[in-house]
Chain A
């Protein structure tokens, strides 16, 4: 029973493709899976927008939207209708073709990368041999679209926002990829299915075999999540799109549905990169405890995805925005050395025999540089409580 619930979508897919003629079967199977992925993640996007607004509202001592539908959960419908019926303003001096193509170029890579995420047991759309590389390669196409959006608006604010956004994205790509490299090194394969399979099973003390429960995996997970926050331009790294800083950054001149497409692309990228984080570090669709394996695998994936989304919303409500130079120095001076040291720590872990010594050594190799870098980069600046002097 649990097995069939686990594989319910796979069996559904087989059932539906059975209706098609034999020559068309692979295509029909692929189309059904694609439709499923787009449907699920687009509705997750809708739910996330409401959850984020309500969550942020509660953090800020207020209700979120609560007028449309029960507790405001039909708000995305209202937002969607608003986005569709708004006038689509194209600036007279704008480069029309590039202006039109930019939102598409944000959304299409964001949807393409879901192909390599294993959502459940046997539920990956394409099992590439170089799946993780596919993910990062397609993700890199998003940066070009940011530039297209910023440049085609012929607006100085927009161009400035686009340049800052691209600089931020390429700076944080290196810690992102390097923290994923540790997992690839340990597993020995770039395929997402093999990475998830390598995290099966449980330790003797009941902890699952997930990589996040190792010292290098924990550091790698934190690095990955911080870099992911910066890659998708989310708070506290949302200077390129901060409304109070640079009006709206590279999508100032977009209105109506194109703006909604940018929004969609950003959130889709967020889910995709969280999905990759879950695959690499949090054990994919594996259950955390052996007794909980009756719950279907895809439910575990979405539970972990929702937990990560909640943490993103929490961080957004907590931290102030980082300034551009703080952002860049954080990436190059702190995260890049930590990511490199993490790789060495993972290698040391791999070659030491299992036991508590490698835990100690691994932890020391991660915590030591963290403390040293953290203290050293402050350059002696003392952070005390701010005192104010008032005029007499």
Chain B
């Protein structure tokens, strides 16, 4: 638990909490982008360059823009009429705690963590994964998931175009 990780974690959690609790919707979207950037910093701090930069490129560069466009094109920039907390906030908290418990359990019981605690090394050897290895893995071992994801994205794209086109046709 070094200082850099502590700072990054604090920033990310603060941004995520802000994204939930701010009144102004655009402020929430911007806080969400900060949370994404914090995640990317966490990846980079772990040495995963490719994943970190891809997180920045995809999430901050595309998903955040998408969220922002959605807010712009609807009437989301007006101040909210009801309170920020929804009526079922207790159920929400219980669900979040349950999901967190499942995630922590899954990570704690994973073979990597078990290996590391068995080896008991002071400085865990970070596996240096180069982009080349990721690329080769994607093209050899994981080519089918890659193609399936590509098909899924294409279907989403075509669906978006059809929805947009239909609106024009109706006009």
Give A residues with C-beta under 8 Å from B.
95, 98, 128-130, 133-134, 136-141, 143-144, 147-148, 151, 159, 163, 166, 170, 173, 188-190
Q: Which residue of B lies closest to A141 (CB)?
A: B60
Given contacts A137-B61, A151-B72, 20 further A-B contacts (CB under 8 A): A129-B49, A129-B131, A130-B49, A133-B49, A133-B54, A133-B57, A136-B53, A136-B61, A137-B56, A137-B60, A139-B61, A140-B60, A140-B61, A141-B56, A141-B60, A143-B61, A144-B30, A147-B65, A147-B72, A151-B26
B16 interface hit (Cβ, 8 Å): no
Q: What is the predominant secondary structure among interface residues of chain B facing chain A?
A: helix
B38 → chain A, closest Cβ, in Å?
13
A188 to B132, CA, bound (A): 8
Write the nearest CB–CB distance from A286 to chain B, whole angstroms: 24
Query: CB-CB < 8 A to A190: which residues of B?
Result: 131
Q: How large is the interface on B (under 10, 10 to 19, 20 to 34, 35 or more residues)?
A: 20 to 34
The 9 closest A-B pairs by CB, nearest first: A140-B61, A137-B56, A137-B57, A137-B53, A133-B53, A130-B49, A130-B50, A147-B68, A134-B53
- Verify B72–A159 contact, CB threshold 8 A: yes
Beta-carbon contact of B61 and A151 below 8 Å: no
**A162 nearest CB neighbor, chain B only:** B72
Measured in the bound complex, the distance between the Cα atoms of B62 and A170 in whole Å is 8
Indicate with 1 or 0, residue by residue over B106-131, a CB within 8 angstroms of chain A CB atoms.
Answer: 00000000000000000000000011
Smallest Cβ-Cβ distance to A132: which chain B residue: B53
Residues from chain B with a CB closer than 8 A to the CB of A133 are: 49-50, 53-54, 57, 131
Known: A128-B49, A144-B33, A163-B72. A170 touches B65 (CB 8 A): yes
Contacts of A143 in B (CB 8 A): 61, 65
Shortest Cβ distance from residue A193 to the other chain B in the assembled complex, whole angstroms: 14
Tell me which residues across on chain A come within 8 A of B53, comparing CB atoms.
Answer: 130, 133-134, 136-137
B3 to chain A, nearest CB (A): 15
Q: Which residues of A contact B49 (CB under 8 A)?
A: 128-130, 133-134
- Interface membership of B89, Cβ < 8 A: no
Contact with A along B68-82 (1 / 0, CB 8 A): 110010000100000
Interface pair A189/B65, CB less than 8 Å apart: no
Q: Is the CB of A144 within 8 A of B68?
A: yes
**Complex-state Cα separation, A190 to B64, whole angstroms:** 25
Q: Which residues of A contact B132 (CB under 8 A)?
A: 188-189
Question: B23 on the interface (CB 8 Å rule)?
Answer: no
How many angstroms from the CA of A133 to the CA of B58 in the assembled complex?
Answer: 11
Residues on A with C-beta less than 8 A from B69 are 163, 166
Partner of A98, one of B26, B56, B62: B26
Distance between B64 CB and nearest chain A CB, rounded to angstroms: 6
Measured CA separation A143–B69 after assembly (Å): 12
Q: Which residue of A lies closest to B47 (CB)?
A: A129
Tell me, in angstroms, the Cα distance from A197 to B62 when the chains sit together.
32
User: Is A148's CB under 8 angstroms from B30's CB?
Assistant: yes
Q: How far does the alpha carbon of A324 sit from the alpha carbon of B69 in the complex, in Å?
A: 17
User: Is A98 a contact of B27 with CB atoms below 8 Å?
Assistant: yes
Verify B54–A137 contact, CB threshold 8 A.
yes
CB proximity of B2 to chain A, nearest CB, Å: 16
Give chain A nearest CB distance to B22 CB in angstroms: 11
Cα A160 to Cα B68 with chains together (Å): 13
Report how far A190 CA is from B50 CA in the complex, Å.
10
Q: Please tell me if the beta carbons of A140 and B57 are within 8 angstroms of each other in the complex.
A: yes
Residues of B within 8 A of A170 (CB): 61-62, 65
Q: Which of A130, A159, A166 contacts B65 (CB 8 A)?
A: A166
Alpha-carbon gap, A98 to B130, bound state (A): 37
Please report the C-alpha to C-alpha distance between residue A130 and residue B57 in the assembled complex, in whole angstroms: 12
Q: Nearest Cβ distance between residue B146 and chain A, in whole angstroms? A: 15
Q: B residues within 8 A CB of A147?
A: 65, 68, 72
> Considering only CB atoms, which chain A residue lies closest to B37 in the complex?
A141
Complex CA gap A195/B126 in Å reads 26
Contacts of B26-63 to chain A: CB distance below 8 A? 26-27, 30, 33, 37, 40, 49-50, 53-54, 56-57, 60-62
